[in-house]
Every structure is written in structure tokens, then in C-alpha cells.
């Protein structure tokens, strides 16, 4: 029986913490013990786990002989397993059940964990041993994977400040702890605004344009808030975007849009403007201490782009054709609004609504006609079917495992010979205390250091649940996201490496999105849709004319989609290149978008005060450009299938698995792509994919 944060009884901290750090038991090499999680016990569990890793590192330093790969790097890979286990439990709980004591615990523990990571990085004797192995890597007879690990660990320590003097190390540690606290504050503020801000619709007439299934979901959301007889539009993307696409009531569209884009920008306790300004200043100071001009230079150095200038160059190259397309589209949208007697200029809360009218006029396609055929359960089976056809994987449901929430389900994954590959968890629905959006988690990384360890991964979404006995219907955009995140899961599941630090998705930020974005393409395959896009009431397949319209609409509205993303990606890089002066987010946003020439009918996909990608952690900071960089790889890779026997070409799929999906970070990503494609990436494929002219 899972335990929920909002229902926690008082506990003795020491009583349960060992169970949260202990090796996982049960089938499949052990599974996460969600039935043992008690949030109030996390502090004690983390203390026990950190103490265990300190002891393990102490044993490495006590080795009497010279540093070697086995007694230093391999031993370091084995250390910290207790911490990895408890951190998995904590981070999943914090992202999917941030209730009760969890927000306070997150604020308390994240700086402590940052300090512990710095304690390891700043351990001089440990770094000297790592450095000795790295410098002797070619003479020591290490294989290619071992040399890659030596490079990775050495450069990670150097880039994190291992070579700084005592004063520099102390300041880095203070900065990292403060940043950890600010990241937590930022993300919690966004979640608070998502939870407390929602639109309540009193009259059914105001639902004009919305599909019956969406209305029913809004009515259920109102009932959950004790608002019977009304309709609630939750402040999450899965609810907001369909509303903006189809709601005829312009005033309500504006209300819903403003609540969503102004998260973290409303003044008061949840305002993020000062938070993000301090984050930027501290990142700049840290980069300077580490010897880099800006945080952007530090962040992009080891990515495929290599420099922020290269990343900006790609973004701006795509901006020009996207802007031209948007200008043409806005003119057409305005003409539609004018013909209808609107008497207003197209605003951001109008764009999606009139785009759907334009889609209908140009392509005779209404995506609301498609949604009745997009059943979540069948689309999940479609992903399984595609993974089986491409990579020989089979998925079997597993019952009886501990779960962090009753809505979570689990599948065991096997290869074509029936051998166990890993476990896949799915947590599909929005709920109180769950972060918005969609993401993939690694619960356990694949490795073979001391014997085979199978991966455990999860996909997490925020779909709107259906009524009792009714299938869950999702939008076309949500279906694309479902396939995207499953691509990340496949990357983790198909890993075949020795060392956990090199496993699965532990690759360059602008490479990790390549497998996920590539996996989106199979959703558009007519054969897959013919099998799995079935009407939720009649069971009839998606009609061939409707399927043909979907295929023909592949490049429709790409200007808007590209430009709202590019605005966010360029803002991310430029705000991290701006230096340490006073930072006014609203002014910087306005000036940057004005410089770019963003039309008034568009805004950034993620406005600064709710831009969790870059301000709730360091992972994507100066790295949001990665989605476009990876899409260049994606477009070129997809053309490899089309140049062969088509989307299901077994030879190309085998090459993708062998050269990309299975190798993790054991080789440079450019070399991995070159091994798959036979050459370096061509940006021309990206332009063709988006329907832009190729120079």
C-alpha cells in the first residue's frame, strides 16, 4: 500500500531510513521500495547514505599502491549506491507527490546534497588519484570505454572546481548551496501558481467550441475542487493548450492564457523575478571562478555545439525562415478574424484559435476530429508495437510491485529472445503535488561493472483522467509528447555499457534529445495509426482521408512552433551571456524579443519566471537550444530510414540501436552519429522537415 505525503503520521527518523538506503529487493534484480518511503525519514536516510559514501571514498584513499583504474575509477563508480537509491526515491516523490512535508524537506535537503557533491569534488587526494589515472590512460592499456570514463571523471572534477585554491573552493561551495536553494524556490513557486490559479467557468454557453470529452474533463476537475455544476480549466499545458485552440470565448481565452504565461510573475510570495536574477548572477560568478567568460561558455563547452556562439548561429539561421513563415501566417489569421468581424489585432491568446481555423480552411483538418481516435491505452500499445518491430522488444504488464501512486503501472521489457531487459513505469495523470509537463526518469541505470544490472525507467505525464469506465483521450500534441518521452525511455532501456556513469541517457545535452525526437516520427506512420488509432466508441480505425490530412499537415504551423521555441532558446543563451549587472527579467525579455523581431501575436514558449528548464536546475541552463540541435540530427537520421526500406527498415534500426541507443556516453556523440549515418549531420534535413527553404 503506497504512502502519501499528505497522510504522513509522525515517525521516528532513524526507524525507517535504513530501508530507504538498502539494496532493492524483489524480482527483476530488485525494485524501488515505494511501500517503504516515509518522507519525514528522508533527512536521516540521506545522512546515512552520505556517510556510507564517505567511508567508501576513504577506502579508495587508503589504498597503499599507486592509483589505477580499478582501485580508483572503478571503485568510485561502485561508491554512492546508497545515495543513488535514496535520491531516486526522493526526487520521484518530490516531482510526483510534492505534498505535506515534501516542499520543506526539498528546501532543506537540496543545499545539503549540493554541499556533499562539492565535498567529493574538492577532495584533493581523491582528485590527484583521478588525475593520475587520466594522465596515464593511454599507457595503462585501458580499453576505449575505460578511457572515456577516465576523461569524463577528470574533466567533471576540473570543471567543477577541483583545481581551485581553498578560497575559490569555499566560494564555489557557497554558490552551489545557494543555487540549490534558489532552484527549489523557483520550481516550487511555479508549482504553487499552477495549483492555485485556474479558470472557473460558470455557464455552459461559455464552453462553445470545446469538444464533449474536454468539457467532461473540466467538469470533473470542478467536482474535485468542490465546484459542482461548473467547469475548471487547470493551469497546466495539457488543459490550457486545447482550451486556447478551440474555446470561442475570447475573454476566457485571455484569462486562461495569462494565468499560464504569468506563472511566477504575479508578485507576492511566489514571484520568481528576484529569484532568477540571483541565479543568473551566481552562475556568472561561478563561471568566472572556474575560468570561463560566462556560464554559457562553461555549459556548452562539452556539448556537441562546443560554444554558445555555435548554438546561437544555428538558432538564428533557423529564425529567419521561421519568422518569414510566421509573418505570412499572422496575415492569414488576421484576415480570418477580420472576415468574422473581430475588430482586433491577433493577440497571443488568439493565435492557436485562429490557427485551427486556418488548418481547417487550408487542409480541411480539425484536430478535434482526430482526438476521439487517440486513446491513451492504444497509443501506449502502439509504442510497444513500434519498439518491438524496430528493436525486438516485448512489454508485459507486471502486477504486485510497490508503487508510489495507484495510477502508476509497470511493464517488464524483454528482448526478442525473451531475456529480461528492464522495467518501464508509466505515471500518466495530472494530480495535486505533481510537477507539470512530461519527463523521463532513470530509477536505476544499466551497467555490468560487477555483473548485469538491468535498467528501470519511467515516463511521467499530466494527462486529464477520464470518467469511470471511459477511455482516456489525448490531443495530437500530447500523443507526440508521449512518443517523445518513450524515446528517452528506450534510450535508457537499450543501454549496453559497463559503467553506470556512461549509461543510457547520460550523454551530451544536445544529443540526449536526439533519440526522443526521432521516436516521435513513428507516431506519424500510416501503418501504426491504421492499427492503433481507433474511435473510442465505435472501434473504427482512423478514416483514410483523415489520416491523409494528418500526413499532409506535417509542416503546417511550423513557423509558430519553431519561433516560440527559438525565442526561449535564444533568451536562455543571451541571459547567460549578459554578465553580472542588474537583471530585470521583464525588460531583458522585451528588449531581446524586440531585437529578434518576435511578432506581437507570439510569446516565448517558456517565459522567464516559469522557465523551469533553465531556472529549476543547471541541467538545461544555456542548453535549451539542445532541442533544435538534436532535431537536426533527428531529421537527418529519419532521412536515413526513408533512403532505405522505409520507417521500419531493420538494417537502419539495427544500426541506430548499435551505434546510438546502446552506447550511452562511451563514445563522443559526433562519432556516434557519424557511425550511424556514415557522415556528419546535414542541417538541410532540418529545413526540409520544417518546410523551410534550403539554401
DSSP code string of 279-343: HHHHHHHHHHHTT-SSHHHHHHTTSSS-SHHHHHHHHHHHHHHHHHHHHHHHHHHHHHHHHTT--
Q: Tens digits of per-residue pLDDT, 272-293?
A: 999 999 999 999 999 999 999 9
| Annotation says 485 is catalytic | yes
- pLDDT for 18 equals 64
Average pLDDT over residues 571-576: 98
Residue 168 CA to residue 174 CA, distance in Å, equals 10
Residue 461, H or E segment: strand 456-463
- pLDDT for 17 equals 54
Name the residue among 523, 536, 408, 369 with its Cα closest to residue 466: 536
- Choice among 77, 356, 447, 485 that is catalytic: 485
Q: How do 420-429 and 456-463 pair as beta strands?
A: parallel
Q: What is the CA radius of gyration of the chain?
A: 25
pLDDT at 3 over 70: no
Residue ranges of domains in the chain, CATH in brackets: 20-163 (1.20.1050.40), 197-261 (no CATH), 372-539 (1.10.1370.40)
pLDDT band, residue 450 (cuts 50/70/90)? very high
Q: Tens digits of per-residue pLDDT, 431-444?
A: 999 998 999 999 99
Residue 283 CA to residue 575 CA, distance in Å, equals 11
CA dihedral 267, 200, 433, 620 (to 10 degrees): -60
- pLDDT for 694 equals 86
Q: Tens digits of per-residue pLDDT, 613-631?
A: 999 999 999 999 999 999 9
Amino acid at each position: 500500500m503506497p504512502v502519501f505525503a499528505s497522510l504522513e503520521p509522525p515517525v521516528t527518523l532513524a526507524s525507517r531510513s535504513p530501508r530507504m538506503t538498502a539494496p532493492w529487493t524483489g524480482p527483476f534484480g530488485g525494485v524501488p521500495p515505494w511501500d517503504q518511503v516515509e518522507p519525514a525519514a528522508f533527512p536521516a536516510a540521506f545522512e546515512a547514505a552520505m556517510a556510507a559514501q564517505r567511508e567508501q571514498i576513504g577506502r579508495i584513499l587508503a589504498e597503499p599502491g599507486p592509483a589505477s583504474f580499478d582501485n580508483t575509477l572503478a571503485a568510485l563508480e561502485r561508491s554512492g549506491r546508497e545515495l543513488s537509491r535514496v535520491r531516486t526515491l526522493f526526487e520521484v516523490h518530490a516531482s510526483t507527490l510534492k505534498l505535506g512535508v515534501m516542499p520543506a524537506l526539498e528546501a532543506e535537503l537540496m543545499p545539503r546534497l549540493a554541499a556533499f557533491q562539492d565535498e567529493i569534488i574538492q577532495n584533493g587526494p581523491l582528485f590527484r588519484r583521478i588525475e593520475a589515472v587520466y594522465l596515464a590512460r593511454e599507457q595503462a592499456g585501458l580499453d576505449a570505454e575505460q578511457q572515456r570514463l577516465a576523461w569524463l571523471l577528470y574533466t567533471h572534477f576540473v570543471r567543477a572546481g577541483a583545481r581551485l585554491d581553498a578560497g575559490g573552493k569555499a566560494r564555489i561551495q557557497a554558490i552551489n548551496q545557494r543555487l540549490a536553494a534558489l532552484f527549489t524556490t523557483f520550481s516550487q513557486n511555479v508549482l504553487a501558481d499552477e495549483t492555485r490559479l485556474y479558470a472557473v467557468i460558470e455557464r455552459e454557453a461559455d464552453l462553445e467550441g470545446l469538444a464533449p470529452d474536454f468539457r467532461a474533463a473540466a467538469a470533473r476537475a470542478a467536482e474535485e475542487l468542490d465546484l459542482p455544476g461548473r467547469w475548471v480549466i487547470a493551469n497546466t499545458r495539457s488543459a490550457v493548450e486545447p482550451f486556447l485552440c478551440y474555446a470561442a470565448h475570447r475573454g476566457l481565452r485571455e484569462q486562461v492564457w495569462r494565468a499560464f504565461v504569468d506563472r511566477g510573475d504575479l508578485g507576492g510570495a511566489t514571484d520568481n523575478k528576484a529569484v532568477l536574477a540571483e541565479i543568473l548572477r551566481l552562475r556568472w560568478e561561478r563561471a568566472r571562478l572556474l575560468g570561463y567568460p560566462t556560464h554559457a561558455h562553461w555549459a556548452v563547452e562539452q556539448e556537441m555545439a562546443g560554444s554558445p556562439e555555435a548554438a546561437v548561429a544555428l538558432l538564428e539561421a533557423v529564425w529567419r525562415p521561421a519568422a518569414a513563415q510566421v509573418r505570412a501566417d499572422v496575415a492569414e489569421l488576421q484576415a480570418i478574424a477580420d472576415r468574422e468581424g473581430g475588430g482586433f489585432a491577433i493577440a497571443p491568446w488568439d493565435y492557436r484559435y485562429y490557427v485551427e481555423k486556418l488548418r481547417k480552411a487550408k487542409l480541411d483538418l480539425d484536430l478535434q476530429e482526430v482526438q476521439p481516435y487517440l486513446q491513451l491505452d492504444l497509443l501506449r500499445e502502439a509504442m510497444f508495437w513500434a519498439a518491438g518491430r524496430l528493436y525486438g522488444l516485448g512489454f508485459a504488464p507486471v502486477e504486485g510491485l510497490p508503487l508510489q501512486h495507484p495510477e502508476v503501472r509497470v511493464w517488464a521489457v524483454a528482448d526478442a529472445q525473451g531475456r529480461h531487459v528492464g522495467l518501464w513505469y508509466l505515471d500518466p495523470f495530472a494530480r495535486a503535488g505533481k510537477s507539470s509537463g512530461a519527463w523521463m526518469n532513470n530509477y536505476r541505470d544499466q551497467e555490468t561493472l560487477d555483473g548485469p544490472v538491468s535498467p528501470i525507467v519511467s515516463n511521467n505525464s499530466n494527462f486529464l483522467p477520464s470518467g469511470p469506465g471511459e477511455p482516456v483521450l489525448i490531443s495530437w500534441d500530447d500523443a507526440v509528447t508521449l512518443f517523445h518521452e518513450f524515446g528517452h525511455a528506450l534510450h535508457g532501456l537499450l543501454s549496453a555499457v559497463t559503467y553506470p556513469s556512461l549509461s543510457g541517457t547520460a550523454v551530451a545535452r544536445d544529443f540526449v534529445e536526439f533519440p526522443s525526437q526521432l521516436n516521435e516520427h513513428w507516431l506519424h506512420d500510416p501503418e501504426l495509426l491504421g492499427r492503433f488509432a481507433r474511435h473510442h466508441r465505435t472501434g473504427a480505425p482512423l478514416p483514410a482521408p483523415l489520416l491523409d490530412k494528418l500526413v499532409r499537415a506535417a509542416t503546417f504551423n511550423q513557423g509558430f512552433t519553431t519561433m516560440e521555441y527559438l525565442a526561449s532558446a535564444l533568451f536562455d543563451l543571451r541571459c547567460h551571456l549578459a554578465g553580472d549587472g542588474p537583471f530585470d527579467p521583464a525588460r531583458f525579455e522585451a528588449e531581446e524579443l524586440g531585437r529578434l523581431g518576435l511578432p506581437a501575436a507570439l510569446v516565448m514558449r517558456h517565459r522567464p519566471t516559469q522557465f523551469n528548464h533553465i531556472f529549476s536546475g543547471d541541467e538545461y541552463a544555456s542548453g535549451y537550444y539542445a532541442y533544435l540541435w538534436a532535431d537536426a540530427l533527428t531529421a537527418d537520421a529519419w532521412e536515413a530510414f526513408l533512403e532505405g526500406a522505409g520507417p521500419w527498415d531493420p538494417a537502419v534500426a539495427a544500426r541506430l540501436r548499435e551505434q546510438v541507443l546502446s552506447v550511452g556516453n562511451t563514445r563522443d556523440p559526433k562519432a556516434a552519429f557519424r557511425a550511424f549515418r556514415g557522415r556528419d549531420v546535414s542541417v538541410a534535413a532540418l529545413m526540409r522537415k520544417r518546410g523551410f527553404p534550403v539554401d
